[in-house]
Amino acid sequence: MPPTKHQRAADRAAQRARVRAEEARRADRESRRDRRRAVIGRIARWGTAVIVVVVVVGAAGIFGDRGIRALMRPAPGHLPPITPAAAYMITYRETFPDIVRTEVDTVQRPFHSVSLTLSVPDGGIVTGDLTNDQGSWIYSTTEGWSLLDPGQQAAGNDPQPAYAIARGLHHGLARVLGTQTILGRTCTLV
């Protein structure tokens, strides 16, 4: 039986996920090593716990206890009106167990995007995805960009979860937890 469209899409997703899977395996190895250091690290973790408490108390001081309660209170809720961006550039600090990366996404909807995952702290490229009018590309550190799937298509690495979340809220599959402030912008935590 020929592979289905879903299988083909899954194959492509698997190919793109290979680098990240390697990261996960490395994270697992490092995690096991870290467990051996657990006893030594216990004091440091308690120190971290104290810092977290201080941060929460500090946040209460800054935002007021109403804000903290709103963050903690589960409720079905709904999303505020969303005005989809035509283009954006966003940089994320991305963490896996014991691995930290930087992800830089530039998107021009609906057809163009480039996403780079960079190592920390040297900024070298770990992996990359590009979508342009020629198709979707994947980056290799030794060979540069390679065309994976030709033809115009939707920008990659441009999740638009608001639609699915709104539906999930409507059907009781998600709930609004409150709001947060990130980079000076208020966002809705779901």
Q: Kindly tell me which residue out of 41, 67, 77, 168 binds another protein, with binding defined by CB under 8 A.
A: 168
| Of residues 9 and 54, the one with the C-beta less far from another protein | 9
Burial per residue of 109-148, b for 16 or more beta-carbon CB atoms within 10 angstroms, e otherwise: eeebbbbbbbeeeeeeebbbbbbbeeebbbbeeeeeeeeb
Q: Shortest CA distance to 166 belongs to which of 93, 52, 77, 48?
A: 77
Cα distance between residue 190 and residue 185, in whole Å:
16
Specify the stretch interacting with another protein by CB under 8 A; choose among 33-41, 46-54, 59-67, 82-90.
82-90
Site string for another protein, 30-49 (x = CB under 8 A): --------------------
Annotate each residue in 102-131 with x if it binds another protein (CB under 8 A) or - if it does not, as one string. xx--x-xxxxxxx-x-x----xxx--x-xx
CB-nearer residue toward another protein: 26 or 109: 109
